[in-house]
Amino acid sequence: MEPKVHEIDPNGDTLLTLRNPNAPFAAPPSPPAEQQEQQEQPKSDAADEPQTLAEDKPEVRMRLSSRHLTLASAYFEKMMSNDWKETTAEGDYSYVVDAEGWDEEALLTLMNIIHGKTADLSMTINLEMLAKIAVLADYYQCHVAVKFFSSLWLQGIDRKAMSGRDLLLLLSVSCVFPDPDTFKESTMSLITKSTGVLDSLGLPIPQTVIDAVNERREKFIPAIVDGLKRLIRYEYSNRVLGCSFDCSSMFIGALGKNMDSLRLTDQYLTPPYVGHSLMTLKDGIFDFSEPSWRRFCDGWRTNRRRNTCSLSDNVRPIVETQIKRVVGLELKDFIKTS
């Protein structure tokens, strides 16, 4: 296939060739079963498939200015001053640079910014594209050149109901273009919403940040469950309800059965607590089934013990207390901003 050509600078002396453009970006790791299936495939099939896919994608070429590149990018400044092999001259180009797998639109946006061609840039972009540009800015070390636009784009990102991979994309942007508020907000959301061990997905997020988020998540989940277990232990000595034998028995039984249905017993709940998040725990515990207190409790029938003989009134404070303790990470503790 004929390559696509972008003349960023018609008089430019640098040719950048992007091979295998638009490769998968920040893809979640394959589940163990899927990984095993891939390993069991015949080697010939596994070797042929990527080659076929790559051949189907036309190369993307960009004519660029070495002066603009070296002024904006520490990566290109070092590469061109050291006469790296990657910059072998070709035809009327003084430098020829190869790239692999980048998103074409993101790379084109970055090069337009570096070359001062910003009049037609959109004032808003989606989170996926912003993260792709952040990865490029981090790789080519041109943070300063992109800083203004990254701040503008970040303000336009809708963060309502954001979860999962999107939170990791947002976190990566706040790491590349240091933003303490976004960093703290995204790490707090990851701590409370993640249902398993986080993976950076190849994004420019320091491993220390990933480890800290995982550690805090794995700290608060058992804290909530331990609080529920304490209720059961205390009720054996009538220290929770302080009511009749019937009420105590119902309370212990109902709490135990609800915990088992949510898989919060020792049989199921082991680190790293895959399948559970603080938010799913909150929703599940707040939805615990209540016994029919009115049938056995004199206080409920006379409306004198409504706030005591209640499963919900005793388990909710445990969850709320722990979730209130969750705070996001501080950017300065992980990334130098000056």
Q: What is the pLDDT of residues 143-168, one digit of tens each?
A: 999 999 999 999 999 988 898 999 99
DSSP-assigned beta bridge partners for residue 135: none
3-state secondary structure of 7: strand
Rounded Cα distance, 133 and 108, in Å: 10
What H or E segment, with its residue span, contains residue 95? strand 95-100
> Encoding tokens for residue 184?
């703290």
Closest C-alpha among 309, 215, 199 to residue 254: 309
Q: Is this prediction's pTM over 0.85?
A: yes
In the prediction, which pLDDT does 244 show?
Answer: 80
50 versus 335: the higher-pLDDT residue is: 335
State mean pLDDT over 26-50. 58
Tell whether the model's pLDDT for residue 138 goes beyond 60. Answer: yes
Q: What is the pLDDT of residues 276-305, one digit of tens each?
A: 999 999 999 999 999 887 777 766 655 554
DSSP state, 268? T
Rounded Cα distance, 338 and 320, in Å: 37
Rounded Cα distance, 222 and 225, in Å: 5
Average pLDDT along the chain: 88
Tell whether the model's pLDDT for residue 314 goes beyond 90. Answer: yes
Question: Could you identify the residue written with the tokens 């302080």?
Answer: 242
In the prediction, which pLDDT does 304 show?
Answer: 54
Rounded Cα distance, 288 and 104, in Å: 50
Q: What is the pLDDT of residues 89-100, one digit of tens each?
A: 667 898 899 999
- Nearest-Å Rg of the Cα atoms of the chain is 28
In the prediction, which pLDDT does 156 show?
Answer: 94
Q: What is the pLDDT of residues 181-221, one digit of tens each?
A: 999 999 999 999 999 999 999 999 999 999 999 999 999 99
